[in-house]
Amino acid sequence: MSSLTQAGPAVSAGPAPSPARKRRGSGRKWAEIGLFSGPAILVYVGFVFLPVALAAYYSFFNWNGLGPLERFIGFDNYTRVLTDPVFHTALRNNFFVVGASLLVQGPLAIGVALLLNRKMKGRGLVRLLIFIPYILSEVIAGVAFKLILQAPAGGSYGPFDTVLNAVGLGELRQLWLADQKVVMWTIFAILTWKYLGFAIIIMLAGLQGVPEELSEAAAIDGAGWWQTQRYITIPLLGPTIRVWAFLSIIGSLQLFDMVWIMTGGGPANSTHTMATYMVLFGLNRQQVGFGSAVAVILFLISLVIALLYQRFALRRDLEGSLTGREG
């Protein structure tokens, strides 16, 4: 019995690593960080930080893009921008697209994604057809819809209105791209046609992370399909919805191609966005300082939205995922 209870010899933990070895390990770690993150940092500085810094610098000058920067005017360019009624219209149009996208495209994307997530024949083909408009270039889509909606020279109505009249819906004909009351709704409808597929694909990807066991347990407890989606699937889809909302907001603020191709900001400057306003009234009129001020304002608005998203949405989602992993 004594041999069983007798303590064995102490095991040594070995010599502690020397300071030189610690320094070599730390240096190797920083070398690896620099090797992998260095190119990304250079790209960020060269294509993000430097252009923004130059735009902020140019915005304090009355400069046409040629010659030296000599006429320093302080914040006059910002004053001109913020007091211009056309810029107010552009700002209002941007936030109209933001709000309409969140209120219309979001629910549509969630509903279609929930339907396509069920087992059905031809599901893959339907997904492909929905995603095709997103693949098209905005320039191609803009030109195509402009030809469809705009009346040809010397004509009263375009092809779309002609079709409406042929099927007995002539009273719905409009000057889709010339009437200030309907033109922004027309542009938004085309944007929805183009980007709804992208939203649906994102929602479908998020649905793949919802465990099927939860739906099966809810069905066993007597919950119907709609109750399962409302109380289980959609709440678990929250992080995906917030990511899509952030991408949609930033994309709406940067809207340029579709408006520039279809209306050029008209009629009567009623469809300008901040991007088209910057190009038309800044760069095209050789007012680089003025256009730079608009670019800085657009950047600051996007930056504030990105910081708010990171503070109130992204951090919450990351903390939730980390907590789930630890549990």
What are the structural domain ranges in the chain? Answer: 76-326
- Asked if 147 and 139 count as a contact pair (C-beta separation under 8 A), the reply is no
Q: What is the mean pLDDT of each run of 10 residues along the chain (327 residues)?
A: 51 54 67 82 88 92 86 93 95 96 94 86 83 90 91 74 86 86 94 94 90 86 86 89 93 93 91 94 89 94 91 74 48
Please report how many Cα atoms fall inside a 13 Å half-sphere around the Cα of residue 104, on the Cβ side: 15
3-state DSSP of 57-99: HHCCECCCCCCCCCCECCCHHHHHHHCCHHHHHHHHHHHHHHH
Q: Are 59 and 292 in contact (CB under 8 A)?
A: yes
Q: How far apart are CA 164 and CA 170, in angstroms?
A: 5
pLDDT value of position 2: 47
Nearest to 296 by CA among 97, 60, 88: 60
| Secondary structure of residue 267 in the 3-state scheme | coil
Q: What is the largest CA-CA distance in the chain?
A: 113
Tokens of 323: 């907590």
The CATH H-level (homologous superfamily) assignment of domain 76-326 is MetI-like (1.10.3720.10)
What's the whole-model pTM score? 0.83
